[in-house]
């Protein structure tokens, strides 16, 4: 079993603009590439047949590692060139054959990138054809890359800072003029800047509590009346083309009734991740939350202890969303659990990773880290199949893409 993972690539506004598609093989938490061609082929086949490019990437581009053998392989023709960036591994040298092949691909509108690159004059025949050059900060320290960047700026390409681990590194790369950014600073929720719950976040938490308590619509409406910005967002959501409404909605009560409490609850859960920020679904943490919550919802429908419980899927979605909230706001998970009056099963999952929802949350977190051996053990313990888990992940990617 090989898992396909995604690491977001962000622009200067810290919005997701692409993903690098990654893989993991059994026996290691990291990629073991004994056969680079087979590794890339696995990513390609997984994206195409196992998931589907649209479901994996949405409307973003996907970076796929390509070694020299794969660069010349006809398997590339399986990929949609409008969605894929071919990332040439650092092992590729600019031989005459490689330059000619890149010229052919470039002429046919393929997008090309150089991976883990350090400026070298011998690559000058390739630079004009590159869309992106990735600079690995662990190889090229920030203090030394100024002259190399000046050389690369002569070409119509974008510079991507790779292995960005801290806010300070991001700011330094931003000031140097990098166009794109990638690394665990963006991909690990725990490292994203903490924010205290402001007025907007407090209102959303109050709304969620009211919905969970099945409060009267007048109470819900009153909360919206106290927040013009939130009311505007609600009306925009309900009036959007996505809901396929034939009539436009003009009041909060109409909007609540039309949207329905379940959909509103999910909208509020996602809105919590943007209460202080912008970028919508292209915020990397919101992207992670949307996928995690839907992944857990789908797994609950396949879990032998939960598949017949009427509320299990909704509770699993709730666990997935709330499991990341403490990483955004400076609030303890214990306080969130107490303030929202969560059920014992949901609380046990969030606080101690216990119970059936806790088991699912552990599995999803392992999948996010691509810890394949732990994933396989957990799948067996849950009496589920690998196919069920991969199908659930596919549906999560698809749902995330659908709400962009």
Angstrom CA distances, 199 to 27, 70, 159, 211, stand at 47, 53, 38, 18
Any idea where the domains of the chain sit in the sequence? 3-187, 199-274, 281-402
How confident is the model at residue 195, as a pLDDT?
Answer: 44
The pLDDT, as a whole number, for residue 210 is 83
Listed ranges 2-16, 135-149, 189-203; the one with the highest mean pLDDT: 135-149
* Concatenated DSSP letters of 195-210: B---HHHHHHHHHHHH
Average pLDDT over residues 269-290: 63
So what's the pLDDT on residue 191? 30
Query: What integer pLDDT is reported at residue 51 of this predicted model?
Result: 58
What local confidence, expressed as pLDDT, does residue 123 receive? 97
Contacts of 377 (CB under 8 A, 6+ apart): none
Over residues 100-150, the pLDDT tens digits come to 999 999 999 999 999 999 999 999 999 999 999 999 999 998 888 989 999
Query: How many whole angstroms separate alpha carbon 43 and alpha carbon 245?
Result: 39
pTM for the whole structure: 0.66
- pLDDT at residue 353, rounded to an integer: 95
Alpha carbons 37 and 258: distance in angstroms, whole number: 51
Scan for tokens 């006809």, then name that residue: 74
Check residue 181 and give its pLDDT: 96
Please name the residues in contact with 290: beta carbons below 8 A apart, sequence gap of 6 or more: 270, 281, 399, 400, 403
> Residue 277 above 50 pLDDT?
no
Handedness of CA 169, 177, 125, 73 (dihedral sign): positive
- Among 37-51, 78-92, 108-122, 258-272, top mean pLDDT goes to 108-122
397 confidence band (pLDDT: 50, 70, 90):
confident
Q: Does residue 270 register a pLDDT over 90? A: no
- State the pLDDT at residue 232: 58
Where would I find the H helices in 46-145? 53-57, 68-71, 96-107
> What letter would DSSP give residue 46?
I
- Residues 308 and 80: their CA atoms lie apart, in Å, by 40
* Between residues 391 and 258, the one the model is more confident about: 391
In a 13 Å sphere around the CA of 36, the CA atoms on its Cβ side amount to 15
Residues above pLDDT 70, as percent of the chain:
74
Q: What's residue 22's pLDDT?
A: 75
More confident residue, 162 or 313: 162
- What per-residue confidence (pLDDT) applies to 205? 76
Helices assigned H by DSSP within 35-155: 36-45, 53-57, 68-71, 96-107, 146-152
142-146, Cβ contacts within 8 angstroms, sequence gap of 24 or more: 142/169, 142/172, 142/173, 142/176, 145/176, 146/176
Q: What is the pLDDT of residues 166-177, one digit of tens each?
A: 888 999 999 999
- Find out whether 370 and 29 touch, Cβ atoms under 8 Å: yes
Note the pLDDT of residue 342.
77
Asked if residue 219 has pLDDT above 80, the reply is yes
The CATH number of 3-187 is 3.20.20.450
Looking at mean pLDDT, say which of 213-222, 240-249, 276-285, 376-385 comes out highest.
376-385
Alpha-carbon gap, residue 400 to 285, rounded angstroms: 12
Q: For residue 90, what pLDDT band results from cuts at 50, 70 and 90? A: very high
- Residues 38 and 44: their CA atoms lie apart, in Å, by 10
- Which residues have CB under 8 Å from 9's CB, separation 6+? 16, 17, 18, 19, 20, 63, 160, 180, 181, 182
Which residues are CB-contacts of 96 (< 8 A; sequence separation ≥ 6)? none
Residue 3 and residue 39: Cα distance in Å, rounded?
11
Closest CA to 105 of 153, 70, 136: 70
Q: Residue 318 pLDDT > 90, yes or no?
A: no
State mean pLDDT over 273-290. Answer: 61
pLDDT at 237: 66
> Alpha helix locations (H) across 20-145?
36-45, 53-57, 68-71, 96-107
Phi-psi region of 135 (alpha: psi -120 to 50; beta: other; left: phi over 0): beta
Give me the chain's average pLDDT, please: 79
Lowest-confidence region among 70-79, 98-107, 185-194, 213-222: 185-194
User: So what's the pLDDT on residue 276?
Assistant: 46
CA distance 78 to 96: 25
């Amino acid at each position: 079993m090989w898992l396909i993972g995604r690491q977001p690539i962000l622009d200067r506004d810290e919005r997701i603009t692409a993903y690098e598609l990654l893989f993991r093989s059994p026996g290691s938490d990291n990629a073991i590439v004994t056969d680079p061609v087979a590794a890339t082929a696995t990513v390609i086949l997984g994206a195409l047949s196992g998931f589907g490019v649209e479901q994996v990437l949405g409307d973003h581009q996907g970076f796929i590692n390509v070694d020299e053998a794969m660069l010349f392989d006809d398997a590339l023709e399986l990929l949609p060139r409008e969605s894929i960036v071919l990332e040439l591994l650092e092992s590729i040298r600019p031989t005459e054959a490689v330059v000619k092949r890149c010229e052919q691909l470039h002429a046919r509108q393929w997008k090309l990138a150089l991976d883990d690159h350090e400026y070298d004059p011998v690559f000058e025949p390739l630079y004009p054809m590159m869309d992106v050059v990735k600079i690995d900060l662990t190889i090229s320290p920030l203090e030394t890359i100024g002259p190399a960047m000046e050389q690369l700026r002569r070409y119509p390409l974008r510079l991507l800072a790779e292995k960005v681990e801290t806010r300070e590194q991001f700011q330094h790369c931003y000031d140097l003029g990098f166009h794109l950014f990638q690394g665990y600073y963006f991909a690990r929720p725990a490292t994203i800047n903490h924010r205290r719950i402001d007025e907007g976040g407090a209102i959303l938490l109050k709304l969620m509590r009211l919905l969970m308590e099945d409060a009267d619509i007048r109470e819900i409406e009153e909360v919206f009346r106290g927040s013009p910005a939130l009311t505007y967002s609600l009306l925009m959501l309900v009036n959007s083309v996505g809901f396929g409404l034939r009539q436009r909605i003009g009041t909060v009560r109409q909007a609540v009734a039309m949207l329905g409490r379940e959909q509103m609850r999910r909208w509020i859960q996602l809105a919590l991740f943007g209460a202080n920020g912008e970028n919508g679904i292209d915020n990397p943490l919101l992207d992670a939350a949307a996928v995690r919550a839907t992944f857990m919802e789908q797994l609950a429908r396949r879990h032998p202890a939960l598949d017949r419980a009427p509320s299990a899927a909704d509770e699993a979605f709730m666990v997935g969303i709330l499991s990341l909230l403490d990483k955004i706001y400076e609030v303890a998970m214990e306080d969130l659990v107490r303030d929202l009056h969560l059920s014992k099963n949901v609380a046990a999952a969030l606080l101690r990773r216990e119970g059936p929802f806790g088991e699912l949350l552990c599995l999803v977190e392992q999948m996010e880290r691509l810890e394949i051996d732990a994933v396989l053990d957990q799948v067996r313990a849950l009496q589920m199949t690998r196919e069920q888990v991969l199908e659930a992940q596919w549906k999560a990617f698809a749902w995330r893409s659908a709400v962009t």
